Amino acid sequence: MRVLLAEDEPRVAAAIARGLRRHGAAVDVAPDGAQALFNARVHPYDVVVLDRDLPEVHGDDVCRALNAERPDTKILMLTAARTTDDLVTGLALGADDYLPKPFRFAELVARVQALSRRAGAARPPVLRHGDVELDPATRVATRGGTDLGLSPKELAVLEVLLRADGAVVSGEDLLERAWDANVDPFTNTVRMTVMKLRRKLGEPAFVHTVPGAGYRV
């Protein structure tokens, strides 16, 4: 799951990003509305967590633009306002969900995960392929009922491959879906993560390399 967090308060942004990463998300942070729009036009996000009161470009205008340009991207709007009128306005702008501040972090995570499951085509709550299962909500992957003990990045890569359901996924696509914008695209981080994932998955081989194309399950 890749998330764009648009929040102008650095301490709040750092805390939210850190927490979402602990739950397996790849998170990019935009400190203002202009940067949020730039990021969203460059990278495909499952969910945008959007503070309403952003500098440069107001959150309302960001929401309108994303709703028009990226209709498959789900938007969770954050705001200090708590009235019904504000809720209605936020949803009318194209937001998919609305969370007033202050909020419990567990509720934010639950809403982001719920929106991610709704992004794009319908997604099953538990991903299965052969004897391998991954529950995106609990971030647990098993093979033959045994917990694989995967790291967050290994879980993210496995999730992308399982969602592809046997189709080939390029290394570039894995990098785009499972890592944030700060990763060096010229490193061998994808190859190393896939190698560790294969080791934990064990035999018979589950993740296969397609020469010159990428990986598939």
Determine the Cα–Cα distance for residues 62 and 208; give it in Å rounded to an integer. 40
How confident is the model at residue 4, as a pLDDT?
95
Determine the Cα–Cα distance for residues 215 and 168; give it in Å rounded to an integer. 5
Higher pLDDT, 61 or 138: 61
Domain made up of 127-216: CATH architecture: Orthogonal Bundle (1.10)
- Asked if pLDDT for residue 121 goes beyond 60, the answer is no
Domain ranges of the chain: 2-118, 127-216
Average pLDDT for residues 192-217, to the nearest whole number? Answer: 93
Global pTM reads 0.67
Q: CATH homologous superfamily for 2-118?
A: Response regulator (3.40.50.2300)
How confident is the model at residue 123, as a pLDDT?
56
Region class of 119: left (phi > 0), else alpha (psi between -120 and 50), else beta: beta
